[in-house]
Amino acid sequence: MPERFSEYTEKVCALLRWKKVRPLVKEELEAHLCESSEEHALAGMGSQESEKAAIAAMGSPEEAGGRLNGLYKPRVDIILLIGTALLMALGALIVPLGEWALCALGVLALDAAFLLFDVRAFIQKYWLYIYLAGVAALVGILFLAPVINGAKRWPPANFFGMFLCICGIGAMLGDGRDVKRPLTILHILALTAVPCLTIFVMPHFAMVVTLGLSMLAMYLRSRMPRAFVFTLLGFSLLFAALTIGSREYLIDRITAWFYPWRSDPRGAGYLTNVLIDTWRNSQWIGGTVPDVAAAPWFLNAYPLAYFAAAAGKLPTYLAIALNALVVWRMLHISRRLQDRISSIVSFGASVLMAVMSGEGVLGSFGWLAFDGAAMFISASGAHWLLQGACVAIVFALNLNRDYIRLSQGSRPDTESVQRRLRIRFEWTK
């Protein structure tokens, strides 16, 4: 490498505010300067003249550093950041201040942990161990967790088991293997079946729906054959319908919303009637929690109904709108990420959040046969941490989007990479 090029690239990189990308930018700059110098040498220039011409074409170090500062910088998504902060602030209206502060600090600590290292490189390298940790958490529930409402439950293991399985399988789907090969499809199905069957044995119908839909979404994102994915979706919906149809209690819970007078107040329709009365009697601003809804389990199982009774319908509808905004932003970011691992993992985490919060919203209105947690409107610390993890991993992958792109395109040993480098620098002049 000519000394003139090294001095120039060091001056340019010293002006970059994002120190993380300096080594990669230096490598890219040197590759481009060498290529430009070779082109000038072929035109009949001497070695020193061609080097000077290459540097002159790039511009002064200050000018090049300014252009690169605009290209390579952390992608802080303000909409996702503000939407999440407002949702967490709304949670303070119903959660006691001490518990709210503890949950908020836990979410912030988790977010900071994701931002301190390269999440993508970590899950790419250790995806199998991440997946096995998720399976171990879910299997451990079968032996260690208590039975709550007829199912084995220990929220931290339930939620983070799902999250880790999604991250592990998402990284495997995006590592470059051919997802259209039958053997690869069978391998992926085997890995997916283990956590799903474990959850089904618990039995936890809501978690099966949540994890199943998230996995199917990642299948679609990984470009597996559409016919296969939709066939699998059809069988899943048929299985869900048969499961609901085989349980009279679930049918009564659903029909109780439309025919509340047919339901025995002490029977299956009781919770639906409580939810109907809660929404009907809630004020638009402020209010008091009804006696029936004052139990702690009501806040965890039907957080938005509790929120409407305690804070009013208007803040509740605002929380639902913010919830939808954050989920949409997460999905939008995941579709905008270019490398496969980041895109698939963030898409899986986004769909996981969308399904969970959707269950929380619909369940709080009594429109589902099972409950769920709305985003950050819950007293459960496990809910907060899982939701924080989903937001954090999407935010972190988007934050390092340019770093990932640069690290993957910085090796000047192929014609395609050289062409991309040349186009990029010509565009920024």
pLDDT at 1: 60
Handedness of CA 311, 390, 330, 70 (dihedral sign): positive
Mean pLDDT of the chain: 79
Contacts of residue 247, Cβ cutoff 8 Å, sequence gap at least 6? none
- Residue 203: asked if its preceding bond is cis (omega within 30°), the reply is yes
Token pair for residue 388?
A: 């924080």
For residue 26, the SS3 value is helix
CB 374, CB 360: distance < 8 Å? yes
Q: How far apart are CA 86 and CA 424, in angstroms?
A: 38
pLDDT at 248: 66
Q: How far apart are CA 18 and CA 65, in angstroms?
A: 11
For the segment 323-330, the average pLDDT, to the nearest whole number, is 94
pLDDT at 164: 93
Give yes or no for residue 126 having a pLDDT over 90. yes
DSSP 294: G
CB 94, CB 377: distance < 8 Å? yes
Question: What is the percentage of the chain residues whose pLDDT exceeds 90?
Answer: 16
pLDDT at 326: 93
For the segment 390-407, the average pLDDT, to the nearest whole number, is 82
Which of 171-175, 287-291, 372-376 has the largest mean confidence? 171-175
One DSSP character per residue, 349-395 reads HHHHHHHHHHHHHHHHTT-SSS---BTTBSS-HHHHHHHHHHHHHHH
pLDDT at 245: 62
pLDDT at 324: 93
CB 22, CB 65: distance < 8 Å? no
pLDDT at 290: 55
Token pair for residue 316?
A: 């509740």
Question: What is the percentage of the chain residues whose pLDDT exceeds 70?
Answer: 80
Q: What is the pLDDT of residues 174-226, one digit of tens each?
A: 887 788 888 888 888 888 888 888 887 887 777 888 888 898 899 988 888 88
Give yes or no for residue 340 having a pLDDT over 80. yes
Give yes or no for residue 394 having a pLDDT over 60. yes
Confidence of residue 413 (pLDDT cuts 50, 70, 90): very low
CA atoms within a 13 Å half-sphere pointing along the CA-CB vector of 53:
16
Give yes or no for residue 415 having a pLDDT over 50. no
Confidence of residue 419 (pLDDT cuts 50, 70, 90): very low
Which of 3-7, 17-21, 82-86, 409-413 has the largest mean confidence? 82-86
Give yes or no for residue 409 having a pLDDT over 60. no
Q: What is the pLDDT of residues 216-271, one digit of tens each?
A: 899 988 888 888 888 888 877 777 676 666 666 666 666 666 666 555 555 656 67
Q: Kindly state the helix (H) or strand (E) to which residue 295 belongs, with its residue range.
A: none
For the segment 94-101, the average pLDDT, to the nearest whole number, is 82
Q: What is the pLDDT of residues 281-291, one digit of tens each?
A: 888 887 765 55
Contacts 24+ apart (CB under 8 A), 310-317: 310/93, 310/94, 311/90, 311/93, 311/94, 311/286, 311/287, 312/282, 312/283, 312/284, 312/285, 312/286, 312/287, 313/279, 313/282, 313/283, 313/284, 314/284, 314/285, 315/90, 315/93, 315/285, 316/282
For the segment 397-401, the average pLDDT, to the nearest whole number, is 84
Confidence of residue 109 (pLDDT cuts 50, 70, 90): confident
One DSSP character per residue, 27-78 reads HHHHHHHHHHHHHHHHTT--HHHHHHHHHHHH--HHHHHHHHHHHSS----H
Residue of 422 and 60 predicted with greater confidence: 60
Task: Report the number of secondary-structure helices (H) and strands (E) in the chain.
Answer: 21, 2
Lowest mean pLDDT among 125-134, 327-336, 383-392: 383-392
Q: Which of 334, 388, 333 is nearest to 356 (CA)?
A: 388
Q: What is the pLDDT of residues 351-362, one digit of tens each?
A: 999 998 888 888
| Ordered alpha helix ranges (H), 259-312 | 270-281, 296-301, 303-311
Give φ, ψ of 302 to 5 degrees.
Answer: -130, 70
Give yes or no for residue 313 having a pLDDT over 80. yes
Residue 95, CA distances (Å) to 90, 103, 381, 391 in order: 9, 10, 11, 21
CB 126, CB 120: distance < 8 Å? no
Lowest mean pLDDT among 29-38, 160-169, 321-330: 29-38
Q: Which of 181, 195, 206, 224 is nearest to 344 (CA)?
A: 224
Q: What is the pLDDT of residues 35-94, one digit of tens each?
A: 777 776 776 676 777 777 877 877 788 888 777 777 777 788 899 999 999 988 888 887
Give yes or no for residue 418 having a pLDDT over 90. no
Q: Kindly state the helix (H) or strand (E) to which residue 148 belongs, with its residue range.
A: strand 147-148
